[in-house]
Amino acid sequence: MSATYYFAIVGTNDSPLYEAEFGVQRDESKYLNQFVVHAALDLVDDAQFMSNACYLKTVDRYNDWNVSAYVAPSNTRLMLLHEAKADEAIRLFFTDCHELYLKTLLNPFYESNSPIQSQTFDAKVNTLAKKHLL
Amino acid sequence: MIHALFIINRSGGLIYHKNFSQHIVQLSSNEALIFAGTFHGIHALASKISPAPKRDTPRDTGIQTIDTKNFRMHCFQTPTGIKFIAVTDLMQTQLTGALGKMYMLYCDYALKNPFYNLEMPIRSEMFDTKLLQLVQAH
Amino acid sequence: MEKQYKTIGEDAWKNNVEKVNAELFIFTYGSLVVQLVKDYEDYAAVNKQLDKMGYNIGVRLVDDIMARTSLERCSGFTATAEVISKVGFKLFLNVAPSVASWSADGKEFSLIVDDNPLNDFCELPPKAVQDGLWYSNVLCGVIRGALEMMQMQTEVEFVRDVLRGDDTSEIRVRLLRMLDEEVPASDD
């Protein structure tokens, strides 16, 4: 499978805290990814009031891309760009990532809403992606 | 019954003094200080003149009781060098238990108060109250 | 002997010690360290402050141990090491670090802290690792302060810390000299 994923965590002030790509890398889409995710944030804002769940499923579409979102209670948003539809796998991925993000918040040296630079975090997200997505 | 209590710090300064009965004369603060200093010195010397202890037994810790015709004085020294000295009647042969509890009160209400300076006189209402309860229950 | 200290420590932990929520304690310590880092902007200074705070805690806490347990004065530095581990750490952190790496003259040993509760949730930023922050340095101060009240002057420092990527955390304790305060000052 030549699936491509782009994952981003967006802080409460709409700034990116973390981004990662999994699967086949496509250089030309790097900025496009950010752009698409950013554009979808408005739709997340709308969609979150239609549902009680944190996981909002697919909120936007752009060409072949689907944008799925997960809104944490703190209004931090986990966003995933993907091609294939796989609601359940993505939900699990989001839930695990959310937990990982919470652990990061517990670190006294991490300031909330600041970019996540920890390499351990990065490695763990990649493992989760392999487990659920790839 | 316990007539009075003195607490002496590591360097022989009096940090607490209280009478609990009518039967004992209130020492002036100067007299109390002299008592504390003198006792501290004698206590230290007493542990020094103690005959050499057998091997593997801990060093002598100094005076534990002083008896007179009318009263008995009990001294309990903590490993950190604080002395609790109680003046009791002659009926009282063992006081280690009560003095140990006083040590706990000292920890809880003096030492654990971040505003209490080590080696300084204890001025804590809570300590007074709890100590009085302990003495009365005794 | 070692067994006996273990029992004393465990008994006291079960019956005689007030417990506090671990997360509350860990987060309080975490934010304290981070605030120090922000205020001093120098990791060496932070280490020093933590050690100072620890010292002030140690000189008070040691009496608490003595009042709550039936410990006698230790017969030697070997026994002291066991008491620190089996009673001291046990009572306040509910861990019992192992005592290891004695020096030939018996005046230096290491405490191997496998499971330091203060480390929970914490991940040091690379800058802190590089500039030598010892996150749990407060423990060194506590040990130093406590031993000083027992007439032992010591030097205590971290030499390894899992938070900095080492395989375990190790605190080195070195006895400098015995202070003898029993002798009263001369009268003149």
Q: List the pLDDT tens digit at each of the 134 positions of chain A.
A: 457 888 999 998 888 899 888 887 766 667 888 888 888 888 888 888 888 888 888 888 888 888 999 998 888 999 998 888 888 888 899 999 999 999 898 888 988 888 998 888 899 999 998 888 87
**A95/A84 Cα distance (integer angstroms):** 19
Q: Given a cut of 90, is residue B55 above it in pLDDT?
A: no
Closest CA to C29 of C54, C58, C64: C54
Q: Given a cut of 60, is residue C185 above it in pLDDT?
A: no
What is the DSSP pairing of strand A65-71 with strand A55-62?
Answer: antiparallel
The conformation of residue B118, written as its DSSP 8-state character, comes to T
Name chain C's partners: 3 or more CB pairs within 8 A. Answer: A, B
Q: What's the pLDDT at A84?
A: 81
Q: What is the ipTM of this complex?
A: 0.81
Task: Report if residue C187 sits inside a domain.
Answer: no
How many CB atoms are located within 10 Å of the residue A115 CB?
A: 13
| Structural domain count, chain C | 1
State which amino acid sits at residue C28: T
* Domain boundary assignment for chain B: 2-137
User: Across B45-59, B76-90, C11-25, which has the greatest mean pLDDT?
Assistant: B76-90
**B45/C21 Cα distance (integer angstroms):** 47
B81, C181: Cβ pair inside 8 Å? yes
Closest CA to C154 of C91, C81, C82: C81
Q: What is the extent of the structural domain holding C66?
A: 2-178
Q: What's the pLDDT at B95?
A: 85
pLDDT band at C17 (very low <50, low <70, confident <90, very high): confident
- At C25, is the secondary structure helix, strand, or coil? helix
Q: Given a cut of 50, is residue C155 above it in pLDDT?
A: yes
Alpha-carbon C57 to chain mean position = 10
Lowest mean pLDDT among A22-26, B12-16, C62-66, C143-147: A22-26
Say which of B47, B48, B107 has its CB closest to residue C67. Answer: B107
Chains A, C in contact: 3+ Cβ pairs under 8 A? yes
Q: Given a cut of 60, is residue C71 above it in pLDDT?
A: yes
User: Across A25-34, B42-51, C136-145, which has the greatest mean pLDDT?
Assistant: C136-145
Q: What's the pLDDT at B59?
A: 63
CB A125 within 8 A of CB A7: yes
Name chain A's partners: 3 or more CB pairs within 8 A. Answer: C
The conformation of residue A39, written as its DSSP 8-state character, comes to H
Q: Give the position of tokens 């705070």.
A: C53
Q: What's the pLDDT at C183?
A: 46
CB C34 within 8 A of CB A108: yes
pLDDT band at B129 (very low <50, low <70, confident <90, very high): very high
**A30/A7 Cα distance (integer angstroms):** 12
CB A49 within 8 A of CB A37: no
Question: Which residues of chain C neighbour B58 with C-beta distances below 8 Å?
Answer: 72-73, 75
pLDDT band at C34 (very low <50, low <70, confident <90, very high): very high
Q: What's the pLDDT at A111?
A: 87
- Give residue ranges of C with CB < 8 Å to any A CB: 27, 30-31, 33-34, 37, 121-125, 128
The conformation of residue C137, written as its DSSP 8-state character, comes to T
Structure tokens at A6: 């782009």
Task: Report if residue C185 sits inside a domain.
Answer: no
Q: What is the extent of the structural domain holding A16?
A: 4-132
Q: What's the pLDDT at C52?
A: 94
The conformation of residue B137, written as its DSSP 8-state character, comes to H
CATH number of the domain bearing residue A77: 3.30.450.70
How many CB atoms are located within 10 Å of the residue A46 CB?
A: 10
Task: Report if residue C100 sits inside a domain.
Answer: yes
For residues C110-122, give the mean pLDDT. Answer: 90
C68, B100: Cβ pair inside 8 Å? no
For residues C27-35, give the mean pLDDT. Answer: 92
CATH number of the domain bearing residue C95: 3.30.1380.20
The residue in chain B having the minimum alpha-carbon distance to the alpha carbon of residue C62 is B80
Classified by CATH at the fold level, domain B2-137 comes out as Beta-Lactamase (3.30.450)
For residues B96-125, give the mean pLDDT. Answer: 90
Q: Given a cut of 80, is residue C39 above it in pLDDT?
A: yes
Q: What's the pLDDT at B54?
A: 64
C60, B112: Cβ pair inside 8 Å? yes
High-pLDDT (> 90) share of chain B, %: 38
For residues C86-113, give the mean pLDDT. Answer: 90
**C168/C186 Cα distance (integer angstroms):** 49
| Number of Cα atoms under 13 Å in the Cβ half of residue B121 | 10
Chains B, C in contact: 3+ Cβ pairs under 8 A? yes
Question: Which residues of chain B neighbour C66 with C-beta distances below 8 Å?
Answer: 78-80, 103
| Structural domain count, chain A | 1
High-pLDDT (> 70) share of chain B, %: 93
